[in-house]
Amino acid sequence: MASDSAAAAPRPHYVDPRPVRRMVPRDRDEPHRVATPLELFFDLCFVVAVGQAGRELAHALAAGHYGDGLRGFVLSFFAIWWAWMNFTWFASAYDCDDVPYRVTTLVQIAGVLILAAGVPRLFATHDLALPITGYVVMRLAMVTQWLRAAASEQGEARRVALRYAVGITLCQVGWVVMLLLPDAARPVIIPVGALCELAVPVVAELRTQTAWHPHHIAERYGLFTLIVLGETVSAATVAVQSAVDEHEGLGRLLLVAVGGLLICFAAWWIYFARPVHGHLRSNRQAFAWGYGHYVVFASAAAIGTGLEVAVESAVHKTEISETAATATVTVPTAVYLLTVWYLHSRHTKRGLLAQAVAPTTAVLVLACTAFGGSGVLAAGLVCALMVVVGVVLHSRETAAA
């Protein structure tokens, strides 16, 4: 006779061996739900586009073209993030891992690579044809996924899937039409189009939410944060290596390298200090948390961009001042700290002092801009101090519990 503990053990998720399956919802309470190899591959390919956008932003900032650079980065990053995010939440609810699902996901990956190929032209000449082509490929592939889900659902769940399919399709028609209109219309159409895209999930899930898995979603966002931070470290390393090969400004490069490394370590630490999946109980929390990660991902990527600019400034290859070059690191770092605190830390910290650590650090990091060439190192030391204070406070909290 089986023991009670064995009888109570959770059953693993059943994997249907057929190549084509019904796309039915996953169990929201499914145990041991983790990212799949396909999802990890998906993330890695998307970060190629993130890296492309970051490099173009670095070139624009180093040349002093702040407005054009930031506009291009915000627009390209929105397209990358929004396509990634929609797939992530859909997969959390409906991943059936059959052949059509895998092929459709690979089409989405092809779309982001097309978008990435068009990013340099977007920054240089404001040409949106290739980026929008790649974006539409990704989004229409997502429509086919929702239509498959609708075919397997009934009642309100079916209507949710159909609202997604119709809403996404209408948005893509709008983007294609924009390409046919004069460039002067873009400043109005692009924000409206972005708002329409953001509204689709809100309208689709107004009455019934999809069966996304809280722990799986938290892991997926954490993994993408890791990959973006890794891209940041990689970009900064390549920039330092290029400068060292030319034997220029080794002392100043060391300050940037050490400061940048401390910032990246602290950025990882604050994001993963406490698990956040317990906060994601329903769409009420999930929408703000999920949408807010646009700022988390973009600022994390921008830190790497800023480090590239700081390295070029250290070897006198930029057209901006040292203070401005330092600001390209300190500003995104401060934004990252504040956003992660708002989305994560404030839900898990206890006491006014613990709540104040991250916001105070963000203000001090901004103040480090005034140090000019040594500002990146100062910002890194401030971030390291934040981690130390956070560990001490958490230790006291744990001991008192």
Q: Running along the chain, 401 residues long, what does each successive block of 10 average in pLDDT?
A: 40 63 85 90 90 90 90 93 94 91 95 93 90 95 95 91 96 94 91 95 90 91 91 76 66 84 92 81 83 94 92 83 93 96 78 84 95 91 92 78 62
- ∠ CA 173-176-179, rounded to 5°: 150
269's CB contacts (< 8 A; 6+ apart) are 387, 390
pLDDT reported for residue 246: 62
Q: Are 341 and 358 in contact (CB under 8 A)?
A: yes
Q: Where are the domains of the chain?
A: 37-204, 214-400
Would you give the end-to-end CA distance of the chain in angstroms? 41
Under 8 Å between Cβ of 368 and 330: yes
Which pair of structure tokens corresponds to residue 138? 């990704």
Q: How far is CA 196 from CA 62, 206, 320, 363, 400, in A?
A: 33, 15, 37, 34, 49
Task: Tell which CATH classification among 1.10.1330, 1.20.1410, 3.40.50, 1.10.3470 matches the domain 214-400.
Answer: 1.20.1410
pLDDT of residue 6: 37
Do residues 71 and 187 lie in contact, with contact meaning Cβ atoms separated by under 8 Å?
Answer: no
Structure tokens at 253: 């490069």
Q: What pLDDT score was predicted for residue 340?
A: 94
Q: CA torsion angle for 395, 398, 399, 401 (degrees, to 10)?
A: 160
Helix (H) or strand (E) holding 46: helix 37-62
Closest-CA residue to 266 (of 162, 347, 345, 151):
345
- φ and ψ at 206, to 5 degrees? -60, -35
Alpha helices by DSSP H, listed for 272-345, are: 283-314, 322-343
**C-alpha–C-alpha distance, residues 24 and 207, integer Å:** 19
Residue 303 · residue 334 · CB < 8 Å:
no
| pLDDT at position 104 | 95
CA distance 172 to 35: 28
Q: Could you tell me the CA-to-CA distances from 125 to 50, 104, 216, 357 in Å, in that order?
A: 19, 31, 40, 43
Note the pLDDT of residue 8: 40
CB 260 within 8 A of CB 376: yes
Rounded (10°) angle between helices 250-271 and 214-245: 180
Contact predicate 112/46, CB 8 Å:
yes
Tokens at residue 264, please?
A: 């990246």
Give the C-alpha separation, 345 to 275, whole Å: 10
Helices 155-180 & 129-152 angle (0-180, nearest 10)? 160
What number of helices (H) and strands (E) belong to the chain?
Answer: 13, 0
pTM of the model: 0.89
Residue type, 253: L
